[in-house]
Chains A and B, each alone.
Chain A
Amino acid sequence: MQINDEDCIRYLMREMDPSEEIEFEREMMSNENLLIEVEILRSTYNKVKKLPLKQPPTEILDKIREQAVSTQKKNIRSSLNLFGWLGKAVAVAATLLLLLSSGFYFFEPVANVFNTTENNAQVLPNTSVQPWVDRNQVIKVSDRIDAIKAQNIGDDYEKSYDKLILINQVESPAQQRQGVLLTSSPVNRD
């Protein structure tokens, strides 16, 4: 164990861990100088321990007590006053907030009606919808089958645009899905 000068004080003042204490005592047994130093410090510290407690004068204590109680009473009173003002301010603010929010609540439906019609006008387009077709995905079959079949397929392909309907005119989800499938799916002729 490496002993510092401060370790003697830590040992004397009992500020060492029990394991450190045991090590320090072992060190003292082997090191006479350390033992002497610790004993000298201990005897001096024992003298310091005799320092007496002194009582403050009674008149000072009475003055302090009187002053403390009156000051604290004043503090409590002022904090209560402050709390009263704060309470009133909070109540006024809450009332104002309630009035404002109820005002908004009553006026809001009218504003919403206007907003809704405006929004609807923006959503509904005036022009007809043009379906998007990826031309690269169209399969040319005229050179692989006979002319009549090819004509029929071509007709189906041309008419497929007519089968597309606007979303808001769809009666059931199944019909909508069918219309979308027309663009590049094989035609079911059955």
Chain B
Amino acid sequence: MELLKRTTKASYKDLRDRDLVRYFRKKADEAAFNELMNRHQAKIYSYIYSMINNPETANDIFQEVFTKVVTKMDDTYNEQGKWIAWVMRIAHNATIDHIRKQKRYIDVNSWYDEDDSRSDYFDRMTDESWVDADEQLIEGETKSSLMAHIAKLPEEQRTVVLLRHYYEMPFKEIAELTNVSINTALGRMRYALINLRKHFEEERQHEFKHANKR
């Protein structure tokens, strides 16, 4: 029995997304859905989290996305297309909807509360083999400052950077998802990198001044 279970688990891992989706649609197969989630949950969540920079809201949006995925799968998902691209579209639209709603009511600068995000961020970081505590601290600071700099980018540039990073999405697909031309998407990526570089430079100068004062 145990062997059978193990074989089934292994075979689910070998299946393509398309087949897992088919199992889930036809039989409400929990194992197939779990496998799909295991494959993509971190990327989807990271994208939403990096766009929103608020853990509670990111959780809500993440849950909302999967509610939509399950309810719409029978009607709107075409099995010929990539499942993850379809889910990503839903995640992107939900995130952008939220940001636009927020823009109407809240000051844009309050999206990112550095202290808040830093503590939560390390709570749920994926395990990595860090050598020692010092390195961990330095690595963590770099990553959190990176998150802070990305959060400062204009929404369009942030979207392109995160879609590219988490999904390795070709620019053609990014352009389609964001309803712009490929050149515009490429241009946004370029400006995002230029802006990030500027932020990193400012941070370095700031640190240098602090060090000199001491």
A residues near B (Cβ < 8 Å) are 4-6, 8-10, 13, 15, 40-41, 43-45, 47-57, 60-61, 63-65, 67-69, 71-73, 75-76, 79
Q: Is B78 at the interface (CB under 8 A from chain A)?
A: no
Given A52-B125, A54-B121, are A47 and B164 also a contact pair (CB < 8 Å)?
no
With an 8 A cutoff between CB atoms, is B165 at the interface? yes
A64 touches B190 (CB 8 A): no
Task: Count residues on chain B whose CB falls below 8 Å from chain A CBs.
Answer: 52
Bound-state Cα–Cα, A83 to B133, Å: 61
Residues of B within 8 A of A10 (CB): 171, 186
Ordered by A's residue number, 7 sampled pairs between the chains whose C-beta atoms are within 8 Å are A10-B186, A13-B189, A44-B196, A55-B42, A57-B59, A75-B28, A76-B26
CB–CB A57/B124 < 8 A: yes
Closest to A64 in B: B66
Q: Which of B42-59 contact A (CB under 8 A)?
A: 42-43, 45-46, 49-50, 59
- The interface residues of chain A, by DSSP majority, are classed as helix
Chain B contacts of A65 at CB under 8 A?
Answer: 30, 33-34, 37
Write the nearest CB–CB distance from B76 to chain A, whole angstroms: 13
Give the complex CA separation of A45 and B143 in angstroms. 13
Q: Are B125 and A76 in contact (CB under 8 A)?
A: no
Q: Name the one of A40, A41, A53, A60 contacting B59, with C-beta atoms under 8 angstroms.
A: A60
Are A50 and B190 interface neighbours, CB within 8 A? no
Q: Which residues of B contact A (CB under 8 A)?
A: 24-28, 30, 33-34, 37, 41-43, 45-46, 49-50, 59, 62-63, 66-67, 69-71, 73-74, 121, 124-126, 142-143, 146-147, 150, 161-162, 164-166, 170-171, 183, 186-187, 189-190, 193-194, 196-197, 200
SS of B interface (majority): helix
In the complex the two chains form, is A9's CB within 8 Å of B70's CB?
Answer: no
Which among A6, A48, A52, A76 has the highest number of chain B CB atoms within 10 Å?
Answer: A52
Note all chain A residues with C-beta closer than 8 A to B183.
4, 6
Q: A127 to B185, alpha carbons, bound, how many Å?
A: 89
How many interface contacts (CB-CB < 8 Å) are there between A and B? 127
Give the docked Cα–Cα distance between A10 and B189 (Å): 10
Kindly list chain A residues whose C-beta atoms are within 8 Å of the C-beta of B59. 56-57, 60
Are A53 and B42 touching (Cβ within 8 A)? yes
Cα A108 to Cα B49 with chains together (Å)? 75
Enumerate chain B residues within 8 angstroms of A64, measured Cβ to Cβ: 37, 62-63, 66-67
Residues of B within 8 A of A72 (CB): 24-25, 28, 33, 70, 73
Question: What is the chain B residue whose CB lies nearest that of A42?
Answer: B193
Measured CA separation A69–B160 after assembly (Å): 33
CA of A52 to CA of B70, assembled, Å:
27
Residues of chain B lying within 8 A (CB to CB) of residue A43: 197
CA distance A26 to B21 in the complex (A): 46
* Given A67-B67, A69-B30, A6:B190 Cβ within 8 A: yes
Q: In the assembled complex, which residues on chain B have CB atoms less than 8 Å from the CB atom of A8?
A: 190
Inter-chain CA distance A43–B42, complex, in Å, is 25
Find chain A residues with CB under 8 A from B126 CB.
52-55
> Is A63 in contact with B28, judged by CB distance below 8 angstroms?
no
Given the known inter-chain contacts A6-B186, A60-B62, A72-B25, please indicate yes or no for A54 contacting B125, CB distance below 8 A: yes
**Chain B minimum-CB-distance residue to A40:** B197
B193 touches A41 (CB 8 A): yes
Neighbouring A residues of B71 by C-beta, 8 Å: 71
- The reply to whether A56 and B41 form a contact with Cβ atoms under 8 Å apart is yes
Establish whether residues B146 and A47, one from each chain, have CB atoms under 8 Å apart when the complex forms: yes
Q: Which residues of B contact A50 (CB under 8 A)?
A: 142-143, 146
Q: Say how far B161's CB is from chain A's closest CB, in angstroms.
A: 6
Report the minimal beta-carbon distance from A62 to chain B, rounded to whole angstroms. 10
List chain B residues, Cβ under 8 A from A55: 41-42, 45, 124, 126
